[in-house]
Amino acid sequence: MAVLLPASFAAWLIMQAAGGGSGEGKAAPTLLPPPGSSEEDSQASDGRPSGDGGEATRPPGPERKPLAGRTVVIDPGHNPRNRDHAAEINRTVGIGTSRKACDTTGTATESGYAEAEFTLDLARRVRNGLERQGATVKLTHDGGRAWGPCVDARAKAGNEAGADAAVSLHADGAPARERGFHVILPESVDEGAADTRAIAGPSRVLGRELVAAFRESTDERPARYIGDGKGLDTRGDLGGLNLSRVPKVFLECGNMRNAEDAKRLTDSEWRDRAARGVAEGVAEFLEGRPKS
């Protein structure tokens, strides 16, 4: 201490002579490191790593956007307000091979949690995940419609967007003893306005990627009560698939009538994992295909 006092006093005199004593309008210079500091702290604060003269830390590069330039259409199945518009949703529309109702109300859990509420919530989460990867994401509806859209309009949305992939989100209303998720693929059809010959193959690839990613993210098992028992089912009677001209599948995320599945479907944290699985499955599919 006896050695430091004269040096500190001399430094103080220099400061006073320079007009820095009052501190008004500018900060006084630091003469010594603040208590508890070290040379290592000083190096870290100015962007250089501690240690023996390492290189300055480079700022992080631009975030990778693997899906930049890709368009994905997400179709939240049904509509929470369909139940109030029976006349509108019961009118029939062409699905290529036949005619079917414009839309339905969907199913619900025993506690009353509607499939339409689930699919809309999940669609928004999926959109967020895909947009973070750079994709342009369009929903067939985002809760602002009074009812619908009809199944033919849902297919048209993907076609008009020139989507690289489209996924329709649903939850099943199977017998309560059954559980599990599955993906519905378009059958190869060529009848009337329905022509899925060009998309049946790519849609199957999309479906397989979704099954793998959804299972890994949610730890859910594929349904054994429908399809091939490995999570895939093929149908030619769904307008949303029959009228699509872009690779498209339906994802039935679980059985709302089963108590175990319902517990998951109604859980917000589980829906986060489900959305991650959908986004990852779509991303895997798109990264394996050339851009159109």
Q: Which of 83, 75, 140, 74 is nearest to 106 (CA)?
A: 83
Q: Is 287 a catalytic residue?
A: no
Sign of CA dihedral 120, 122, 123, 127: positive
Q: How many Å apart are CA 130 and CA 165, to the nearest integer?
A: 12
Given the residues 115, 117, 220, 252, the one annotated as active site = 252
Give me 57's structure tokens. Answer: 């830390």
Q: Taken in order 24, 26, 29, 33, is the CA torsion positive or negative? A: positive
How is residue 178 annotated by DSSP? -
What are the helix (H) ranges across 57-199? 86-90, 115-132, 151-161
Say whether 53 sits in a helix, a strand or coil.
coil
Q: Which residues are catalytic?
A: 252
